[in-house]
Structure 1
Amino acid sequence: MKRNLITSVLLCCLFVLQGQDKQLTIRGKVSNMDTPLVNAEVSSEKSGETVKTDINGKYELNTSAGDLVTFSYPGLSDMEIVVEDVSSILNIKMNAAVNVLDEVVLEKTKIKSQAQLRMEYNSNKNLLKTAFGILDKDITNFSVRIIDKSQLLFGTIDLASAIQYRFPGVRVERLAESFNKPTIYLRGASQGLFPAIYDVDGLILNEFPDFIMVENVERIGILSGLGLVTKYGGNGNGGVIVINTKGGNTYRDPRTGGPYDQALLRNNIYEGNALSKEQASKNVPTYLKELYATTSEGEAVELYKEQSARYTSSMYYFLDVFGYFAAKWKNTSFADQIIEDHWYLFKDNPVGMKALAYLYQTLGNNEKAHKLYKEIFILRPNYAQSYRDLALSYTDIGDYRKSASIYARYDYLVAEGFIRAEDKEFTPLMEREFSNLLELHRKELTSTETKKGPSLNSGFEGTRLVFEWNDSEAEFQLQFVNPNDKYYNWEHSMLADPELIRVEKLKGYSCKEYLIDGSITGQWKVNLKYLGNKSLTPAYLKVTIYHNFGSKSQRKEIKVFKLQLKNVNQELFKVQNSLSLVSN
């Protein structure tokens, strides 16, 4: 077995080298505000070659997978693109240069950037997550007192009592008619004349958060002083009680935020202005409108034969008609035959295969999807996501041991440096899913029963959303609307966060998870604005919704969306967040 493991590792290394040396030619157009840029420079880091765009802003450059290509033009921000194995058309829109001061160094004091503070949060107990980013206790213009979960007293009436007993100068007032909604006053905050407000994982509340249990708290901070007014406004006169929960333990900043509203003091009330599914459905391609207008399956088949002669080179056409015949007429055999007849469009194309795998998963055909993920793994063994996709697909077909072995292999290759995954985004996601596999299928893996009790993953219980996209060049904006119609936007684009996209490409993953804590119940809305993908082709987004994640009643559902209509905010789906625990 050891010999087989060594052979597998050597094969992976060989594939990595082969993937990185794949020769490619990329071409496209460079523009600014829809105006072609003449003499913009396009440079290859590997070869050192530089070409310039022509009068129409077009260029062509010989490169290879893994190369870093830089687009430059005077007065505009440089744009760096990591070349992938499927890169061919890269249409680049450049933006005006903006000088941002990320870090200020004084003579004796170093002001750390938010990125650095996020990295230190788990190990530095002097840090708090607030609606305005990470707060460092050592560098503030107001008083900050912090305790972490190890110092909290369990068994108290509620969180208010736990705070009162751990922080001196805290006064808790309870009225008989609202005993569970106490008012807390802080000494030193305007002489205790005004009640404190609450900052819970970035959610600013005026009333006591009675929905939080002491056991779910990661860290608490007591903030007081005039300096708070500049951040929290007049409501901060009575001080602020910052509560970091275990469910919100992964920090979400404005560029990589999650489903929690990070700044309720802003005007971020959702007004229902997203395009409805019915409205968005009117923007489907003409060939699909024609197919849906047919009155029988036989008529649809004849129309398909006529259409397919015109779209022989379009992978996206055959993905659409595959989905049409499988969903509309439930004819999965004919749909499968369509793909088999046009496999030449998908062969050696991991982007197309992944979109097809998504569709198979929505149809419940996990075996077909698994075969595709195995093919993608062979094509992209140096991509971190290849291991995650294959491990999850083994789980879907019930082969839990092989799933566990893939996770173990991934850990080994990361430790040995064969996969670059030293990040704060993807690795925790892998660890969460591996832990979930071990807990849910402990008996199949170790021949022992799962542990008793409703909770399988003490770190988080609630609704877990995982977004995945087949094309790493896809740019979009996700909008999360909480049960109180407060929204939060997260943008995945070169303009919003070029460093994030660069890291995703270097490490080989295209996914993002969001955790909605079980205590925040109600209906959440998720909307999306598609911004394009540097070419004229659509992209596919898969959303896996884990209901009651971390409990024995955990279940999942998969939704797939074709992203084509650009620059319009449109409805994706709604999800009801309510933790249902199963008793033993």
Structure 2
Amino acid sequence: MMFLLHFFTFCVYSIVIYLKGGNTMVKYFILLNILFVTTLSWSQETKGKVVSANGPIQGALVTVKNTFNEVITNNEGEFSIKTEDNSVLVISYFGMETKEVFATPATKMTITLETDGELLGEVVIKAKKENKEKTEETAYGKQNRDALGYSTGQKLTAEQINQSYTNVFDVIRQMPGIEIFGLAGQEQKVLFTKNRSINLVYPIVVLDGAVFDQSILNAISPTQIESITLLKSLNATLRYGQLGAGGAILINTQLGEGNALTVAQKQASLLVKGNEYTDTVLTVENVPITESYLLALNKATTFEEAKNIYESQMTTGNYNEIPYYVSVSDYFLKWDEDYSFKVLSNIAREATNNTKALRTYAYKLDERKEFLKALSVYKRVVALRPGESQSYLDLAMASEAAGDYETAFALYYQIIFNKIPNVDCSGIQDITINELRHLLAFHKSKVPFQTLPNDFLSAKLKQDIRIVLQWNNPSTDFEAQFVNPDSKFFIWNHTKFDNTDLLKEEVTQGYAMKEYVVDEKSKGNWRVNIRALEEEPQKNPTYLKYTLYRNYGLPTETKEVKVINLSRYTEKVTLDNFIFH
């Protein structure tokens, strides 16, 4: 294999941002000057087109197997990639079966991907459910409305909910047979009139299939509601046992598919049976080391001895893998930070055009508070993936961390108002609003805040604990488990089968990020567990960045960052334990 090293000068990616402020127009030119000194030049070029039964596939990933060399297809499904003799191309796209073919530089290739059979079956099942006859929520789930021999209760849909309502109690109050006790803004209770007696029995709340007490109602915004159904006590008792003796308020939302998920909305004291957390799992720090190269390095008793072992591994071993550079770099932190960075920077040299690897590199730089170095990497990612919304949010956050507040502000603005040309930012707008408010909380005087609508300036940023998850591959299957102080848990599944529409949106828009908020009602010991649900080749696996903010947006804010090789943990592990005072 012949590698030709050449000097890669720099790439300037310009975004022109117009912000309207009163009668003036503020123009920002963001010049993203990226300098990566070396890149790989391969001996020949292979061109082709990726298609399915429905036509060309835009955004398919084409990789030269066992390398970091990759490209994505354009809107015509076309690609061009440098290859060598006998190179194998790996072609993948969400919802399609991954395919491997030999590269044929002499002729233009046409590569046809087949639909993933298992995923197709799941989609068909969902479609059938959506298209069946009109249904109602009953004691036994959804049933054909016309076949029911009794009244199920009342129902409101999103279209019937007035947008002027400020809380869910305003919505429920419009339904017949309801009484609400308490004052707005304080503790309120909903009661079905027919259940009023000396011993009041309040209805339970069933939010997206999980059972809660009524305290959860304070956390639900009317704008999030898809439908509300009232089940009278007989129906509710049949379905939920004694918990439903006072009836049930069934609320369906889109929270499971959005970007922001409030932990308080999913953690309650009345969760269904089987939701007690009784597991004993290792923390990520205590998972045994099995990698031979780390076992060898751990035998070193001096810095010089460790360097000799590393240099020998680089010369004689087959260690050109992202986990190797990350793990060995972490190992050398105890000896010498500069040398540790030298090891980590191999990623930038070896994977110059691989955004998955570069994001791993940037995550590690974030973890080490090397914000200026991370900023240059995120600029490179924007240049490589200008059609992905995550590229711009990462760049905005990196700019803020590095002290370039005007650039951060301009990018946040563009994302929130969906003004970046040919980029759909709708999937990350809620997260970006929080990031913008965070910027204003600390650096309002340094940005043109006058260009913002008033509601951005008046809204308070109260998020006692904020957790942000980011990962470098939108289509990765994994689960996150949150355990509250009462040892109750909920699980968020990021899988092609449980969250098909979400993953499709993430892949299409190019983002991979989720935020969670723990409010002041949830004080105590919290645990965050993580588990990968698929195995990956270790050449360039999925990495996950976990960020924990305390007192988010306040002068006393603190921030902790952890970066893990997600694919390493196919058995559940504890990513973090924290106490919320």
Q: Where does 1:187-226 land on structure 2 (aligned, <5 Å)? A: 187-189=193-195, 195-199=201-205, 204-205=211-212, 209=215, 218=221, 223=230, 225=232, 226=234
8 Å CA contact 2:535–2:570 kept in 1: the answer is: no
Deviation at 1:191, TM superposition (A): 6.5
8 Å CA contact 1:544–1:557 kept in 2: the answer is: yes
Corresponding residue for residue 487 of structure 1: 489
8 Å CA contact 1:152–1:166 kept in 2: the answer is: no
| TM-score (ref. length: structure 1) | 0.66
Corresponding residue for residue 549 of structure 2: 546
State the one-letter code of the partner of 2:73.
Answer: S
Deviation at 1:274, TM superposition (A): 2.6
Residues 1:560 and 2:569 are matched in the alignment: no
Distance 1:295 1:544 in 2: 33
Deviation at 1:354, TM superposition (A): 1.0
Q: Where does 1:483-522 land on structure 2 (aligned, <5 Å)? A: 483-522=485-524
Distance 2:502 2:196 in 1: 42
Query: Identity percentage over the alignment?
Result: 22
Deviation at 1:237, TM superposition (A): 2.1
Distance 2:408 2:16 in 1: 17
Distance change >3 Å, CA 95–CA 212, structure 1 → 2: closer
Residues 1:346 and 2:351 are matched in the alignment: yes
Corresponding residue for residue 81 of structure 2: none
SS of 1:318's equivalent in the other structure is: helix
RMSD: 5.0
Deviation at 1:392, TM superposition (A): 0.4
Corresponding residue for residue 571 of structure 1: 574
Corresponding residue for residue 360 of structure 2: 355
8 Å CA contact 1:190–1:238 kept in 2: the answer is: no
Distance 1:556 1:186 in 2: 45
Corresponding residue for residue 227 of structure 1: 235
State the one-letter code of the partner of 2:408.
Answer: S
Corresponding residue for residue 443 of structure 1: 445
State the one-letter code of the partner of 2:153.
Answer: F
Deviation at 1:204, TM superposition (A): 3.9
Corresponding residue for residue 477 of structure 2: 475
Residues 1:419 and 2:423 are matched in the alignment: yes
Distance 1:360 1:298 in 2: 25
Deviation at 1:496, TM superposition (A): 2.7
SS of 1:509's equivalent in the other structure is: coil
Deviation at 1:418, TM superposition (A): 0.8
8 Å CA contact 2:260–2:430 kept in 1: the answer is: no
1:95 pairs with 118, 122, 127, which one?
118
Deviation at 1:240, TM superposition (A): 4.0
Corresponding residue for residue 463 of structure 1: 465
Distance change >3 Å, CA 556–CA 276, structure 1 → 2: closer
8 Å CA contact 2:259–2:514 kept in 1: the answer is: no
2:328 pairs with 321, 342, 346, which one?
321
2:244 pairs with 236, 244, 249, which one?
236
1:405 pairs with 397, 407, 410, which one?
410
State the one-letter code of the partner of 2:318.
Answer: Y
8 Å CA contact 2:154–2:231 kept in 1: the answer is: yes
Corresponding residue for residue 364 of structure 1: 369
Distance change >3 Å, CA 149–CA 368, structure 1 → 2: same
8 Å CA contact 1:467–1:542 kept in 2: the answer is: yes
CA displacement, residues 461-517 of structure 1 (integer Å, 9 cap, x when unaligned): 332211111233422111111111111112222233333222111111111112222
Deviation at 1:372, TM superposition (A): 0.9
Distance 2:97 2:458 in 1: 41
Residues 1:523 and 2:536 are matched in the alignment: no
Distance 2:275 2:261 in 1: 15
Distance 1:341 1:278 in 2: 24
Distance 1:254 1:408 in 2: 20
Which consecutive unaligned segments of at least 5 residues does structure 1 have?
13-21, 28-40, 49-61, 70-77, 115-131, 134-138, 154-158, 174-179, 449-454, 579-584
State the one-letter code of the partner of 1:252.
Answer: G
State the one-letter code of the partner of 1:458.
Answer: K
8 Å CA contact 1:471–1:539 kept in 2: the answer is: yes
Deviation at 1:398, TM superposition (A): 1.4
Distance change >3 Å, CA 381–CA 564, structure 1 → 2: same
1:251 pairs with 237, 255, 262, which one?
255
Corresponding residue for residue 64 of structure 1: 73
Which consecutive unaligned segments of at least 5 residues does structure 2 have?
1-13, 19-26, 33-44, 59-70, 79-93, 100-110, 143-147, 451-456
Residues 1:308 and 2:314 are matched in the alignment: yes
State the one-letter code of the partner of 1:141.
Answer: T
Distance change >3 Å, CA 234–CA 395, structure 1 → 2: same
Corresponding residue for residue 142 of structure 1: 153
Distance change >3 Å, CA 550–CA 298, structure 1 → 2: same
Deviation at 1:394, TM superposition (A): 0.8
SS of 2:548's equivalent in the other structure is: strand
Give the number of equivalent residue pairs. Answer: 474
Distance 1:461 1:320 in 2: 33
CA displacement, residues 438-468 of structure 1 (integer Å, 9 cap, x when unaligned): 23321222599xxxxxx98437533221111
